[in-house]
Structure 1
Amino acid sequence: MQALEFGYVRSPDQDSATPARHPVVIVGAGPVGLSLAIDLAQRGQRVLVLDNDHKLSIGSRAICFAKRTLEIWDRLGVGQPMVDKGVSWNLGRVFHQDQPVYQFDLLPEDGHERPAFINLQQYYAEAYLVERALQLPGVEIRWHNRVTACTPHGGGAALTVETPEGSYALEAQWVAACDGARSPLRGMLGLESRGRIFQDRFLIADVKMEADFPAERWFWFDPPFHPGQSVLLHRQPDDVWRIDFQLGWDADPEEAKKPENIVPRVHALLGRDVPFTLEWASVYTFACLRMDQFVHGRVVFVGDAAHGVSPFGARGANSGVQDAENLAWKLDRVLRGQAPEALIATYGAEREYAADENILNSTRATDFITPKGEISRLLRDAVLDLARDHPFARRIVNSGRLSVPATLHGSPLNTPDADHFAGTQVPGAVLLDAPMERAGQPTWLLRELGEGFTLIVFGPAPDWAAGMEGLKVLSIGGDLADPRGLAAQRLDAQPGTAYLVRPDQHVCARWRAPSAPAVRAAIARALGA
């Protein structure tokens, strides 16, 4: 799969007397850029993707894809092949030295279509996304096309693109910078990310072996086979295992990546009699950074280009895919003239809030995993000892708070509650899935939502709802059955309760007894009016 390459193809734009103008240009064909391109194309938009490379990612890189990412990819038509190929898991175990401390279940309740996580090498994820993108007539991907200049102006941005046959110029109405943590576009605009770089290094080693470890996340603090440091073990497809070894700040990254230095570490973990082959290795440094603002005129920064976190917690690629979903529907509405351009600014407000939440969680995990003083280490080890027998201490243990979608509290697109509700499904939350039935056949609540706004009504739908343009109405008890009552339970529903759900499946309003004016006002508010 990693050997798959995409050829350079000359574009008619390169022979144009004047720069061709595109409504959306996405820079970067990684998981985030491809997800954004597919989402926009499924909504009927024409999208150009430029990538400076011509192949899939090298090495496993991002491997932990969360339930929410899978739900987004379900909507984009790639969720099932990802799950079929990936290793599904819900359980994790924490060890201190050579003793188990406790285990945790990230999805303790049933009634969800997708697992808490799958492990899947990034190159597989990219392959499924490329395959899907190429099925859509609205997506064009140009490989070996490197953006070398970006000049914003009132109507968008002017781009200079370098190819094997020379450079050419483009005009873009909107530019989405999905070009990674080192984002060349960020540098072209004279922008930077700010935050904290942690003085520690970690080695990633992908090893291929046959082992009977379960499909769980195992994390060791100060194990006897790697004393004074931490180790993470994850199973991937194809009998490949990801091992992260903490190295310390003084480690030489180039020396650490040499096979003769990796093999003894792996033998110490597995035992010398366990055969394995080394597939890929990399050394990384923790960093928690973000741009001050994600939206700069009509250039919008998405994913790692906008924010970065340490990998423990799997918040990087997952938050990037959520960025893409947040931006796609808003950009579609603006391009259609159905929403003011100010709606794009709410992408910045909402996803900057989510980035801050991810950075906070990532920073806390990093501080716990890599204590920088003797007192901090003593405190951490005391917490680990307590956690063996006392559940309260387990809430303090932090081997990486794993990715969950941000609840967008305080978003200007939310309509505040006028009625009392219990539970977590507040305006700004991602709608929880639940098993449903349509005409006696099993289905899932999230799969029944529309591409636009959806009004979920528990009981008969009001007559006025059917006449609202662009609104899909789902009657629970009419269109759909809730055979286990989980949808009603999770949404704290009573007869007549209604939820308004945005195109990105976030709740934006809810009522005990909705009215036509209230629903119209909530939709207008969610469109930035």
Structure 2
Amino acid sequence: MTKIFETPLYPYGRSRDQDAAQPVRHTVVIVGAGPVGLAAAIDLALQDVPVLVIDDNDKVSFGSRAICFAKRPLEILDRLGCGQPMVDKGVVWNLGKVFFDDRQVYGFNLLPEDGHKRPAFINLQQYYFELFLVERVRALQAEGRPIEIRGGNKVVSVDPRADGVGLTIDTADGPYRIEADWLIACDGANSPVRRMMGLDFVGRIFEDNFLIADVKMTADFPTERWFWFDPPFNRNQSALLHKQPDNVWRIDLQLGWNIDKEVEKQPERVIPRLKAMLGDEVEFELEWVSIYTFQCRRMERFRHGRVIFAGDSAHQVSPFGARGANSGLQDADNLAWKLKLVIDGKAGEALIDSYDAERIHGADENILNSSRSTDFITPKSETSRIFRDAVLDLSERFEFARPFVNSGRLSVPCTYDGSPLNGPDAAGLPARSRPGSPAVDAPVEGGWLLDQLGNRFQLIGINADVPAVIEDHGVRIEGMTLSTTADPSGALAARYLGTAPAAVYLMRPDQHVAARWTAFDEAAVRKALATALARS
């Protein structure tokens, strides 16, 4: 693992921009080569939008950091051409268990239905995640796609303008300046770009701390998410156990508020806590240790002129629920196609404003769920604790109590209800595939539905004929006709037809539903496209 941490993937090298007489202008500059920045860059490059990624680092993140990647982000990564390596390396899981004291009180399956290509979750260390993304960047560069990463380049000033952004970048050879039509800040929770622009978060910081320990050991725990409330080895607190690749296990232990973080990270304090949990006979070694404080905060706006914030630079949530990186990947998924159409002159900047509307909706949904999880995991009053413990006791025997158990509501795909881009809906079609929702996977002839969707507008006719192509003001809609008779499982009909005999869906380039009908109407499709492009 040390070699992965220490090997420069994109070492500093002097660029032509540093020798230019005037600042060179780039179409899109992304600050931050973490999962969100790299995913956004790959998405743009696949659409032939020139993109430059700059980072003051030159290698993967140290420590596993984000480890839980949900089904929807895996589907996004499939669209970007790099999902399979993640799944192949990752630990696949769908099941979880909740314990109270020393007894199991609840178990759950996050993907109880068949007919999906991807699992509910994989666990994969962030350093592998970043490595696979960088390898995808290298493959795109070999294809001649317009994407570049510069390591050892640190942004030291940001100058927002009406038509772009000026940047000063420091390097081992001294500073230089560039300009960008658009700047995407993916530079993390402590975002220097956000700070340099005088912007901040609004929200809550919870009075509690958690120890994260990545432990290398051989253990026979099943591949499940295990969460404890008030366990014997961490009384009046909580704990979490997850399996990662390479016999690495993630252990989270609640520590409380009034602690000395530097002291608690020392091996002489960490190892006895782990032995109390695992047993004295279990041999293990520490790979990485950190302490985090629950935070549920976001920027008031994610777009500031030509500067757009994504991922942790725009919003923060507590780790329980795996909503951080997964939400950030959905930010990138939402933004790239919109930026492409605006850059090409096929949509106005109102389309970029819809990024603000949709992803703030997603951030607020995550913050609400994360805040509720935090309040349940760490009750702040004796009354709250009594209620929580009663729920846990009841959940062991009574099904009605189990929905109240909250060990971290795990990441689910965001549906953009109320989005200004949503077109008409039709009665009788399933709620799960309504306008604003991400497409639900299903078996289709020749493979999986989601493998045939994305990167352009599409019209899907299910038991209904649609044209092969519709052209509208320079935007192309590709048609695809599917028959439910080709899916003996019935998943396609159940997920897209409901009680209707046929349906027509207008799909966005990010695989979200723009509009739907029970029959094809070209005028209605054109009107819905205008709405999806923020033209109306």
Q: What TM bracket, shorter-length normalisation?
A: over 0.9
User: SS in structure 2 opposite 1:455?
Assistant: strand
d(CA) in 1 for partners of 2:468 and 2:246?
Answer: 54
Name the structure 2 match of 1:505. 511
Tell me how far apart the structure 2 counterparts of residues 253 and 43 of structure 1 sit (CA, whole Å): 45
Q: Is the 8 A contact 2:67 2:124 kept in 1?
A: yes
1:31-65 deviations in Å (ceiling 9; x for gaps): 00000000000011110001011110000000000
Deviation at 1:463, TM superposition (A): 4.4
Whether the 8 Å contact between 2:464 and 2:520 is mirrored in structure 1 is: no
User: What is the aligned-residue identity percentage?
Assistant: 60
| Mean Cα deviation higher: 501-510 or 465-474 | 465-474
Amino acid at match of 1:199: E
Indicate the residue corresponding to 1:339 in structure 2. 347
Asked if the contact 1:437–1:483 (Cα under 8 Å) also holds between the matched residues in 2, the reply is no
How far apart, in 1, do the equivalents of 2:128 and 2:469 lie?
A: 42
Runs of 4+ in 1 over 6 A off after TM superposition: none
Q: In the alignment, which of 295, 306, 320 is matched to residue 312 of structure 1?
A: 320
Structure 1 residue aligned with 2:441: 433
Q: Which runs of 5+ in 1 are unaligned?
A: none
1:225-277 deviation line (CA, Å, top 9, x unaligned): 11111000000000000000000001211111101111111111111001111
| Partners of 2:39 and 2:18 in 1: CA distance | 26
**Aligned with residue 63 of structure 1, among 55, 64, 67:** 67
Helix, strand or coil at the partner of 1:424: helix
* Structure 2 unpaired stretches of 5+: none
User: CA–CA distance in 2 between the matches of 1:341 and 1:463?
Assistant: 29
Match of 2:162 in 1: 154
Superposition CA RMSD, Å: 1.3
Distance 2:409 2:308 in 1: 28
Counterparts of 1:11 and 1:465, CA distance in 2: 43
What secondary structure sits across from 1:268 in the alignment?
helix
Q: Distance in 2 between matches of 1:507 and 1:83?
A: 26
Cα drift, residue 514 of structure 1: 2.0
Answering whether residue 41 of structure 2 is matched by residue 33 of structure 1, we say: no
Q: 1:144 aligns with which of 149, 152, 160?
A: 152
Verify the 8 A CA contact 1:160 1:167 in the aligned structure 2. yes
How many angstroms apart in 1 are the aligned matches of 2:118 and 2:425?
Answer: 29
Q: Structure 1, residues 342-381: CA drift from partner, whole Å, max 9, x if none? A: 1100000000011000000000000000111212111111
* Equivalent position of 2:488 in the other structure: 483
Q: 1:121 and 2:121 equivalent? A: no
Partner of 1:412: 420
- Within-5 A mapping of 1:76-115: 76-115=80-119
The separation in 2 between residues aligned to 1:461 and 1:147, in whole angstroms, is 52
TM-score normalised by length of structure 1: 0.97
Matching of residue 461 in structure 1 with residue 465 in structure 2 = yes
Q: CA deviation at 1:119?
A: 0.3
Residue 210 of structure 1: how far off its partner (Å): 0.4
Deviation at 1:77, TM superposition (A): 1.0
Amino acid at match of 2:82: V
- Quote how far apart the aligned CAs of 1:82 are: 0.2
Supply the AA of the counterpart residue of 1:347: Y
- Tell me the TM-score normalised to structure 2 length: 0.96
- 2:265 matched to 1:257? yes
Could you tell which deviates more after superposition, 179-188 or 412-421?
A: 412-421
Shift of 1:492: 2.0
Aligned to 2:480: 474
Alignment of 1:248-287 (within 5 A): 248-287=256-295
- How far apart are the structure 1 equivalents of 2:501 and 2:350? 37
Q: Which residue of 2 aligns with 1:3?
A: 6
CA contact (8 A) 2:156 2:169 kept: yes
Counterpart code for 1:492:
L
> Separation in 2 of the partners of 1:514 and 1:134?
42
Q: Does the aligned pair in 2 maintain the 1:179–1:305 contact within 8 Å?
A: yes
